[in-house]
Amino acid sequence: MKENTASVLTDMFKELGLQASIQLSSFENEKTALIIVDMVNGFVKEGALSSPRVLAINERTAELVKACNENKIEMLAFCDSHNKDCQEFASYPPHCICETQEEKITSEIRKHFVGTEIKKNSTNGFIEPEFQKWLENHNNIENFIICGCCTDLCVLQFALSLKTDFNRRNLNKRVIVIQSLCETYDGGSHGGDISNLFAFYNMKTNGIEVPKDIVF
């Protein structure tokens, strides 16, 4: 059943006409921002929700961060951070507890990251008041390049909310999710491959760009 569903989604996805890659140099630096979603230790290296799939994109994410730093591109990083009694733990195992190593950006990304960090207590960073203030103060940004985890949860919810908000306000801004730099997890009935495919398809059909890669 899963294989049939994946095959159907793959065929539908191909019909959308995907862009193979984009060039970082094609963007105006002062009008572009890199949004990094939850590349923290608790999803990358340690803890109940860490995933080898997410670990696999860590090094190249760090390289993109370095390139953005060198090109003076604005950067923002969401960091999952919860109190021990967080309501979210009714749905997910305890993870990314505040004041622990799990809530911190990985050392590889931290080495080159110069920007704003926003802690979030839910799967959707868009609704954090601090992000709303950041968005208001950065109304010059026209291109939002998104990477991180999890593709079908935090990345999907943030990207859809951001695009929907721009549509509501009739703003012509680009929301771009890089497939090669987004990942999710495998576990139980949650298959990473099909979850990624479904999420990218969902984003693409809602006006979000989902190129396979970014060249920098």
Residue 134 has pLDDT above 80, yes or no: yes
Strands 74-80 and 32-37: parallel
- Average pLDDT (157-171) is 98
Which pLDDT score, from 0 to 100, does residue 189 have? 83
Decide if 30 contacts 64 (C-beta within 8 A): no
Mean pLDDT, rounded, of the chain: 93
Residue 205 has pLDDT above 60, yes or no: yes
CA 177 vs CA 100, 105, 139, 140, 211: distances in Å:
29, 20, 20, 19, 7
- Average pLDDT (5-21) is 69
pLDDT band at 188 (very low <50, low <70, confident <90, very high): confident
Which pLDDT score, from 0 to 100, does residue 13 have? 63
Percent of the chain surpassing pLDDT 90: 86
- Average pLDDT (133-148) is 98
Which pLDDT score, from 0 to 100, does residue 7 have? 72
What is the token pair recorded at 148? 């991180």
Percent of the chain surpassing pLDDT 70: 92
Decide if 141 contacts 174 (C-beta within 8 A): no
**pLDDT tens profile 75-86:** 999 999 999 999
Which pLDDT score, from 0 to 100, does residue 3 have? 56
- Average pLDDT (108-126) is 97
Q: Return the DSSP state at 64.
A: H
Residue 8 has pLDDT above 80, yes or no: no
What is the token pair recorded at 50? 């860490």
